[in-house]
Chains A and B, each alone.
Chain A
Amino acid sequence: MRRRRVSQILLGLFAGLVFLFLLLPLAVVFPISLSSASYLQFPPPGFSWQWYQRYLDDPSWIDATIRSVKVASLCTVLAMGLGVPLTFFLVRSRLPGVRVLDRLAAAPIIVPTIILSIALYGVFARLQLIGEWYGVAVAHTVLALPFVVILVSAGLRGFDEAQEQAAAGLGASWPAIIWRVTLPQLRPSLVSAAFLSFISSFDELVLAMFLSGASMTLPKKMFDNIMMEIDPTIAAVSVLQILLVAVALGLTSLFGRGALTTTITR
């Protein structure tokens, strides 16, 4: 019994250390972003808001931020608008080819992003789409679709179809049934899927590196900043990004009622 207690404590200690390892890089950018030093120095010699000020005063940072929000928003709309109907087909159709199409929808996770990036780079260059924000958004949609399909199909499989038949028996039309009966019950999965689509696009760098050209997204701007000069402006941007994810995660667990974690543990 006593040996068991000891091994449990050791296990808990190990898990705690791993959680520390996971959170440490996130924690370290907070003090740096508030540093009064003019270059990267740790621990910071004093407190100042200067790096946030510099971020807000620099139009190139703000432009990149606005562009990324636009790209991520369009990507979310497209991924949900196309992905949710696709999921209905993949879950409910009894066609023999549906398994193959299921694989196709999951393939963007497996195929290395660098391959998709240069493939699209070639196509977009010919169509003169390089540097257009909506081009990046469409490319990001391909990467977001698998997340939408995985999350929404988990929700749809847990949904009792007899409810739709009952509504149909009572004379409701199919669009009304899907809109009033099915989708409201899928809300946790839908909220989580929309959140993941937005964040995956907002954070994406490899596709954006090739497709965004001179009109940079926020990750591309951050990448260039790290390559040229590591000044603490990037720490301030990082803090803002971490806070965005934290707020979005909080909202998702509030409105998504755990769809995120239940899908992960499925």
Chain B
Amino acid sequence: MSSPGDSRRTTARRRETALFLLAVPALLLLGIIFAWPVLRLLAMSVEDGTLANFEKATLDELYLYVLFDSVKIAAMVMAICLLVAYPVAFWLSRAGRWGVALGMFALLLPFWTSVLVRTYAWLVLLGRNGVVNRWLRDAGLIDAPLPLLHNTSGVLIGMVHVLLPYMVFPIYASLLRIDPDLSRAAEGLGAPAWRSFLRVTFPLSLPGVSAGCALVFVLSLGFFITPALLGGGRVIMVSMLIEQQVREFLDWPFAAALSTVLLVATLAIYALIGRITRGARHA
């Protein structure tokens, strides 16, 4: 005699088996086309049994400089995105139906347009005789063209343009989740609007802020196309260094060591920012 508990357990086990079978093809793909090749690449860095490649990547002044420069650019992109995205997300969270529709259009259309199309457009806009410099000169604001392209400012403009939506969306989402009665209550009790924002709304939006910061930082650190095209060879990021090692020097072990450093830095920063957020949420 089987009890009803037994049959329930059998059903549950059968359900788990069926669910797992559904996942097998995708997990196989992720294993064969993602996890295994990446781990195999990382293992190449210590193929010769020494840490020589890591010493070269982290002690040689040239490579160390590129590494720091990449982190510096990623941090700058993150900071600019945060400063620009927060007011936009805040405006969106208070906007009416048409405002939200307009905002979503302006955010989503570039978001899904090829990075290449946008980079090409910036080449046209920011060049010495580009559209922006022409406008500024015609307006009498400048005498000589501003160097906007083939340097750090060009890379920053291009990267902020690509990554801004990644910052706006999480902040907007966390602002929407805040009960509007909270700030109304604060103001009803006599707090001026700026104080109710600083003490009520802003702290409650911090989960979105840190999610956006983590995403933007991590994505910028691995950026490749935009700095390659807008930096004009004067801005070198780690990803470009990795590509160069594989393409030009065929130095796979060293490229693997650089990849390992980039991946570890990416994961560490991601975990760190996640941790700060959790701390902020419990405070």
- Asked whether A249 lies within 8 Å of B108 as measured between CB atoms, the reply is yes
- Does A142 make an interface contact (CB < 8 A)? yes
- Over the window 73-84 of chain A, the binary record of Cβ atoms lying under 8 Å from chain B Cβ atoms (1 yes, 0 no) is 000001001110
- Does A163 make an interface contact (CB < 8 A)? no
Task: Give chain B nearest CB distance to A31 CB in angstroms.
Answer: 10
- Asked whether A249 lies within 8 Å of B109 as measured between CB atoms, the reply is yes
- Asked whether A29 lies within 8 Å of B33 as measured between CB atoms, the reply is no
Instruction: Give the docked Cα–Cα distance between A141 and B30 (Å).
Output: 9
Chain B contact residues (Cβ within 8 angstroms of A): what range? 35 or more
Task: Give chain B nearest CB distance to A130 CB in angstroms.
Answer: 13
- Asked whether B164 lies within 8 Å of A22 as measured between CB atoms, the reply is yes
- Does A223 make an interface contact (CB < 8 A)? yes
- Does B222 make an interface contact (CB < 8 A)? yes
- Does A14 make an interface contact (CB < 8 A)? yes
- Does B205 make an interface contact (CB < 8 A)? no
Instruction: Give the docked Cα–Cα distance between A174 and B11 (Å).
Output: 13
Name A262's closest neighbour in chain B (CB-CB).
Answer: B173
Inside 8 A of A226's CB, which chain B residues have their CB? 116, 119-120, 123, 229
- Asked whether B173 lies within 8 Å of A265 as measured between CB atoms, the reply is yes
- Asked whether B263 lies within 8 Å of A265 as measured between CB atoms, the reply is no
B interface SS class: helix
Chain A contact residues (Cβ within 8 angstroms of B): what range? 35 or more
- Does B62 make an interface contact (CB < 8 A)? no
- Does A32 make an interface contact (CB < 8 A)? yes
Instruction: Give the docked Cα–Cα distance between A14 and B92 (Å).
Output: 12
Interface centre among A26, A115, A206, A219 (most CB of B within 10 A): A115
- Over the window 158-179 of chain B, the binary record of Cβ atoms lying under 8 Å from chain A Cβ atoms (1 yes, 0 no) is 0001001000010011001000
Binds B, one of A57-65, A99-107, A181-189: A99-107
- Does A28 make an interface contact (CB < 8 A)? yes
Name A246's closest neighbour in chain B (CB-CB).
Answer: B109
From known contacts A14-B91, A203-B116, infer whether A29 and B107 are also in contact, taking CB-CB under 8 Å.
no
Inside 8 A of B113's CB, which chain A residues have their CB? 26, 203, 241-242, 245
Instruction: Give the docked Cα–Cα distance between A95 and B256 (Å).
Output: 35
- B40: contacting residue among A101, A122, A203, A264, CB under 8 A: A122
Inside 8 A of B242's CB, which chain A residues have their CB? 114-115, 118
- Does B224 make an interface contact (CB < 8 A)? yes
Q: Can you list 15 A-B pairs with a CB-CB distance of less than 8 A?
A: A12-B91, A18-B164, A19-B102, A19-B103, A23-B109, A25-B125, A89-B22, A104-B27, A118-B255, A120-B33, A138-B33, A142-B34, A205-B114, A223-B116, A265-B176
Chain B residues packing against A (C-beta within 8 Å): 16, 18-20, 22-23, 25-27, 29-30, 33-35, 37-38, 40-41, 84, 87-88, 90-92, 102-104, 106-110, 112-125, 130-131, 134, 161, 164, 169, 172-173, 176, 193, 218, 221-222, 224-225, 229, 239, 242-243, 246, 252, 255, 259, 262-263, 266-267, 270
